Amino acid sequence: MADFSDLLDQIPTKDLAKQFGVSEDVIDGALTQILPGLVSGLAANAQGGGEASLEKALAKHQGKSTKLADIDTADGEKIVKNVFGEKKNDVVKAVAGSSKAKGATQELIEQLLPVVAPIVLAWVASQFFGGKEETKASTKETKSESSSGGLGDLLGGLLSSKQGSDALGGLLGGLLGGGKK
C-alpha cells in the first residue's frame, strides 16, 4: 500500500526550497503537515457525495508532470479552493501552527498549497488508476470499483498510515470537508 513517503518522493523539495528561499528541512516540515491535510480534504469531499467530481479531477491530472516548472498554480488554487472551501484560511493556520519545522509559516504554507495540490492529484490519480491510460471502459470499471470503496480505501489508507495519523493528530478533523462536493 502506498503511503505519504511515496507521495513525498514525488515532490521536488530541493526546487521548492530554492524557489521559496528556505531550507529543505523547512519544506519537508511544511509538507509533512500539508500532505495529510490535502488528502483529508479530498477524502472528506469524496465521502460527502463528491466522489464522481474527484474522479473527474483525478482523470484530468493523471500522468501530469510533477516538475516544478510544469506546475499550474492557477489550477492548484482551484484545487485548494475545491478541497477546503471557506475553511482554507483555518486549515492554513492549523497546519502552520502544528508544523514542527521552524520557518514553516502561514505565508509559506499558503504559497506551497497551490504548488503541491496538482502534484498530490497527479500522484493520487496514478495510484487510483494504476498508471493505466484513462479510457471510457476503465472509467466504468473504476467507478464500479470505487463504489465498493476504491477511492475511499486509497485515501483512507493514506490517512490511517502512521505518517497520516501522526501529522493530523485530530487537529484538522473539524475543519475538513468544507470544500466543493
For the chain, which ranges sit under pLDDT 50?
132-148, 162, 164-175, 177-178, 181
Domains of the chain, residue spans: 4-168
- Regarding pTM above 0.75, the answer is yes
How far does the chain reach from its first CA to its final CA, in angstroms? 27
**Among 54, 48, 63, 39, which Cα is nearest to 143's?**
54
Angle between helices 136-147 and 150-160 in degrees, nearest 10: 60
Cα 136 to Cα 124: distance, rounded to the nearest angstrom? 19
- Would you state the pLDDT for residue 1? 56
**Among 111, 89, 86, which Cα is nearest to 178's?**
86
- Would you state the pLDDT for residue 111? 95
